[in-house]
A and B are shown apart, each in its own frame.
Chain A
Amino acid sequence: RKEVEQDPGPFNVPEGATVAFNCTYSNSASQSFFWYRQDCRKEPKLLMSVYSSGNEDGRFTAQLNRASQYISLLIRDSKLSDSATYLCVVTEDYKLSFGAGTTVTVRA
């Protein structure tokens, strides 16, 4: 079983739509959780950390459910520039484990 699993998508949505997707992780000892964004053939870039209480950063909302071991990301009012692959990342002792990514394509 993979440590971090994500729906690969793609999620094709029109501009302005809301899109949401989840990620599950297998290691209950995971300590920190993040969403990264990766554009085609580029390095991952930190989008936001994920906290148990849920957190919001502009149009992005992330939630963590430790009991069920899943993390979610919701993007409101999608922009063309949101088109990317979103990587779910969990850590244990500062070692990062990446999901394979969920691809989102926002169309005009």
Chain B
Amino acid sequence: GAVVSQHPSRVICKSGTSVKIECRSLDFQATTMFWYRQFPKKSLMLMATSNEGSKATYEQGVEKDKFLINHASLTLSTLTVTSAHPEDSSFYICSATGSAKNIQYFGAGTRLSVL
């Protein structure tokens, strides 16, 4: 069964609205969670690394005020796409690592469509 739960799986929203995506680790404590974005036929691109209780580390070119990440507990990280625009439409995937830091478990992804 899934070890990382991501919700929602699909979002369709109007331009200008904010969208929150949740990523939960099931049955293990995720010291680190990662947020990726994938455009069609492209590779997953790391957006940010989130450690519990501290600020997320964003990759170059990713706006931290646009993509708000909160990792308030060892089992939950959230990504909020603020004031979403059509160019934010993408497949967003989270992953989590536990004690074995080399293995990332992926959530099922969230397909965001901004109209």
A interface residues with partner B (beta carbon < 8 Å): 4, 8, 32, 41-46, 87, 91, 94-101
Measured between C-beta atoms, what is the minimum distance from A22 to chain B in Å? Answer: 16
Given contacts A45-B106, A87-B44, 20 further A-B contacts (CB under 8 A): A8-B41, A41-B111, A42-B108, A42-B109, A43-B107, A43-B108, A44-B93, A46-B103, A91-B102, A94-B32, A94-B97, A94-B102, A95-B49, A96-B46, A96-B95, A98-B43, A99-B43, A100-B42, A100-B43, A101-B43
As a 0/1 sequence over residues 89 to 115 of chain B, the CB contacts with chain A under 8 angstroms (1 = contact) are 001010101000111101111010000
Measured between C-beta atoms, what is the minimum distance from B23 to chain A in Å? Answer: 11
Instruction: Give Cα distance in the complex from A43 to B41, angstroms.
Output: 13
Residues of B contacting A46 in the complex (Cβ-Cβ under 8 angstroms): 103
Residues of B contacting A91 in the complex (Cβ-Cβ under 8 angstroms): 102
Cβ B102 vs Cβ A43 within 8 A: no
Instruction: Give how many B residues have a beta carbon under 8 Å from the other chain's beta carbons.
Output: 24
Residues of A contacting B101 in the complex (Cβ-Cβ under 8 angstroms): 94
Residues of A contacting B35 in the complex (Cβ-Cβ under 8 angstroms): none
At the interface, yes or no: B67 with Cβ under 8 Å from chain A? Answer: no
Measured between C-beta atoms, what is the minimum distance from B9 to chain A in Å? Answer: 10
Residues of A contacting B109 in the complex (Cβ-Cβ under 8 angstroms): 41-43
Measured between C-beta atoms, what is the minimum distance from A38 to chain B in Å? Answer: 9
